[in-house]
């Protein structure tokens, strides 16, 4: 596991530290109004580094106001925060920057004026900073969020193909199945061209049926190897970063177990001939729901599989469920409830969406098609059948509701609630490496079964 994947200590899991801070806040109340006006108390500071962006969160008991300035040479962001005085929690922020943070080289903090702090964030690369505040939600109080997006964004499809090409040619996986790679002068270009220029109407053999022959040497650039299309499965581990998802009675966080399962499934998919998994997040950071959909579309994913763990108020409910999108209302009230719960992730995770963007987004996400839903239902039943062979099912049929994350109009998309994290037995299973492997194997079998009956069509979309 890389450092980015290391389980972080969640601030909410430190009730004592939190209580002390809250008590400090109460003390400020007793001191009188003039002190309250001057000072917010910091409840927690967090840094979430990732290749996509690095987020810094400062959580306070009252709202604070910030203004940022970008200084190009050397690149740094200065943030003036009103209503804050220097306090020990801020020194913690300095210490929380990881040495391998792709964006932040370091943070310096000084008192700029009475009641105004200046944060200077030294950068490793040019960024577009987004600074915004969030009102109290779930277990959080007021949050000031600094999102630092690299000015030069990585092209996810190019990165995916480059990753594939970095693998030693002819290398065999544990299963001995590796597809041949095109070996032209510009293999990356070839692969990308293949992705974009399939003759319409042609389909390719399902990946599990396609190649039983041993791997061919990379230099044997046969016609058939060129017509093998790379099938891309987008895996979407739910939640992440500021949004822990559901938390089990033993403290297991949904965002951690679904990432572990997604990484296992990725490995299995990548061991299939001509298949490649693409993760919407591969570490512990938050990805807004619409960005998950956009990411899958940018890599022209053939399938989208969102992984979650269910939770209820009582410990008894158990079993896995699989969901597809619905065009007309939810298939049951519980499906609607779960969709509402999963759709609320953006509020907890924290997104900076202006009203204008939100409208554009809604229009984009409302293009869902009947064909997508039909394919999603087929994929969902194939997966449900396989999950049922390794664990209990909550419902025997694929359910439907308006999940925001399933709205890619052109990609069959399902959301898997792998088990109930709120059920103590299932929480243990979700944490068990054995069960995680069984589940990943079952999910792969479901995906292969779907492709066996529904061969992926040739691409005719523009990259
Ligand atoms: Zn979830």
Cα diameter, the chain: 80
Write the Ramachandran bin of 274: left for phi over 0, alpha for psi from -120 to 50, otherwise beta. Answer: left
**Ligand 1 centroid from CA 225, angstroms:** 39
pLDDT of 175 strictly over 60 = no
Residue 5: the pLDDT is: 35
Q: What is the Cα–Cα distance from 17 to 6, expressed in whole angstroms?
A: 22
For domain 3-150, the CATH class is mainly beta
Which letter, b or e, does each residue of 449-458 get, where b requires 16 or more Cβ atoms within 10 Å of its Cβ? bbbeebbbee
Q: Does domain 231-453 have CATH number 3.40.50.1370?
A: no
| Alpha-carbon span 426 to 252, nearest angstrom | 11
Tell me: pLDDT of 130 over 50. Answer: yes
d(CA 266, CA 68): 39
Helix axis angle for 433-453 and 254-270, nearest 10°, is: 50
C-alpha 192 to ligand 1 mean position (Å): 33
Q: How crowded is residue 267: how many other Cβ atoms within 10 Å of its Cβ?
A: 15
CA of residue 341 to ligand 1 center, whole Å: 8
Terminal Cα-to-Cα distance of the chain (whole angstroms): 32
Rounded distance, CA 397 to CA 307, Å?
17
Q: Which two tokens stand for residue 2?
A: 């890389």
250 CA → ligand 1 middle, Å = 17
Higher pLDDT, 230 or 143: 143
H/E element, 22: helix 15-31
Both tokens assigned to 342: 């999963």
β-strand pairing of 42-48 with 399-401: unpaired
* Residue ranges of domains in the chain: 3-150, 231-453
CA of 128 to the centre of ligand 1 (A): 29
The rounded Cα 261 to chain-centroid distance in angstroms is: 13
| Confidence (pLDDT) at 365 | 60
192, 198, 203, 208: CA torsion to nearest 10: -20
307 closest CA partner among 261, 338, 271: 261
Cα radius of gyration (the chain): 24
**pLDDT recorded at residue 9:** 38
Q: Check whether 258 has a pLDDT greater than 80.
A: yes
Q: Which residues of 175-200 are buried (b: 16+ CB within 10 A; e: fewer)?
A: eebbbbbbbeeebeebbbebbeebee
Which range among 109-118, 121-130, 439-448 shows the weakest confidence by mean pLDDT?
Answer: 109-118
CA 85 to CA 261: how far, in whole Å?
43
Q: How far is the CA of 73 from the centre of ligand 1 (A)?
A: 42
Q: Determine contact, residues 458/295, Cβ cutoff 8 Å.
A: no
Ramachandran bin of 83, using left for φ above 0, alpha for ψ from -120 to 50, beta for the remaining angles: left
In the block, residue with structure tokens 């068990």: 432
Compute, in angstroms, the gap from residue 152 CA to the centroid of ligand 1.
30
Output the CA 150–ligand 1 centroid distance in Å: 28
pLDDT in tens, 16-39: 344 443 333 333 344 433 333 457
Q: Do the beta carbons of residue 232 and residue 299 sit within 8 Å? A: yes
Structure confidence at residue 88 (pLDDT): 83
Task: Looking at 197-319, list the stretches that DSSP marks H as alpha helix, in order from N- to C-terminal side.
Answer: 207-210, 223-227, 254-270, 289-298
Write the pLDDT tens digit of every residue in 207-232: 433 333 333 333 333 333 333 688 99
Cα 322 to middle of ligand 1, angstroms: 12
Distance CA(145)–CA(352), nearest Å, equals: 9
The CA 389 to ligand 1 mean position distance, Å, reads 23
pLDDT at residue number 86 = 81
Paired strand residues for 116: 82, 113
CA of 263 to the centre of ligand 1 (A): 17
Q: Which of 51-60, 126-135, 163-172, 326-335 has the lowest mean pLDDT?
A: 163-172
What pLDDT score was predicted for residue 191?
53
CB 286 within 8 A of CB 349: yes
Measure 257 CA to ligand 1 centroid, in angstroms.
11
Single out the residue of 266, 79, 303, 75 nearest to residue 173, CA to CA. Answer: 266
pLDDT, tens digit, 9 for 90 and up, residues 275-296: 999 999 999 999 999 999 999 9
Which helix H or strand E contains 133, and what residues bound it? strand 127-134
């Amino acid at each position: 596991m890389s450092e980015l994947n290391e389980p972080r200590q969640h601030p909410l899991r430190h009730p004592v530290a939190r209580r002390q801070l809250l008590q400090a806040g109460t003390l400020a109340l007793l001191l009188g109004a003039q002190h309250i006006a001057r000072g917010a108390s910091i409840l927690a500071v967090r840094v979430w580094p990732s290749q996509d962006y690095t987020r810094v969160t400062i959580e306070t008991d009252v709202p604070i106001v910030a203004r940022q300035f970008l200084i190009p040479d050397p690149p740094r962001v200065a943030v003036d925060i009103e209503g804050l005085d220097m306090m020990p929690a801020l020194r913690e922020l300095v210490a929380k920057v990881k040495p391998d943070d792709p964006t932040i080289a370091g943070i310096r903090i000084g008192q700029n004026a009475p009641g105004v702090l200046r944060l200077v964030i030294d950068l490793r690369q040019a960024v577009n900073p987004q600074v915004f505040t969030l009102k109290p939600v779930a277990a959080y109080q007021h949050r000031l969020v600094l999102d630092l997006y690299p000015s030069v964004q990585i092209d996810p499809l190019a990165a995916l193909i480059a990753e594939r090409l970095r693998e030693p040619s002819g290398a065999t996986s544990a299963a001995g199945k590796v597809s041949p790679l095109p070996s032209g002068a510009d293999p990356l270009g070839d692969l990308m061209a293949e992705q974009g220029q399939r003759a319409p109407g042609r389909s390719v053999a399902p990946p599990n049926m396609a190649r039983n022959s041993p791997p061919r040497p990379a230099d044997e650039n046969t016609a058939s190897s060129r017509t093998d299309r790379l099938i891309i499965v987008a895996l979407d581990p739910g939640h992440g970063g500021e949004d822990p998802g559901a938390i089990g009675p033993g403290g297991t966080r949904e965002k951690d177990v679904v990432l572990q399962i997604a990484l296992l499934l990725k490995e299995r998919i990548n061991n299939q001939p001509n298949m490649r998994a693409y993760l919407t997040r591969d570490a512990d950071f938050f990805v807004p729901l619409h960005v998950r959909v956009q990411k899958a579309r940018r890599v022209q994913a053939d399938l989208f599989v969102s992984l979650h763990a269910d939770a209820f108020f009582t410990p008894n409910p158990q079993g896995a469920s699989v969901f597809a999108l619905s065009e007309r209302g939810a298939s049951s009230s519980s499906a609607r409830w779960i969709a509402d719960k999963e759709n609320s992730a953006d509020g907890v995770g924290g997104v900076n969406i202006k009203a204008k963007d939100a409208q554009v987004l809604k229009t984009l996400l409302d293009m869902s098609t009947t064909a997508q839903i039909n394919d999603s239902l087929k994929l969902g039943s194939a997966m449900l059948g396989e999950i049922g062979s390794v664990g209990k099912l909550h419902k025997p049929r694929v359910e439907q509701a308006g999940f925001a994350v399933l709205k890619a109009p052109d990609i069959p998309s399902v959301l898997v609630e792998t088990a109930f994290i709120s059920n103590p037995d299932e929480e243990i299973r979700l944490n068990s490496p054995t069960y995680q492997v069984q589940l990943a194997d079952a999910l792969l079998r479901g995906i292969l079964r779907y492709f066996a009956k529904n061969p992926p069509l040739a691409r005719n979309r523009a990259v």
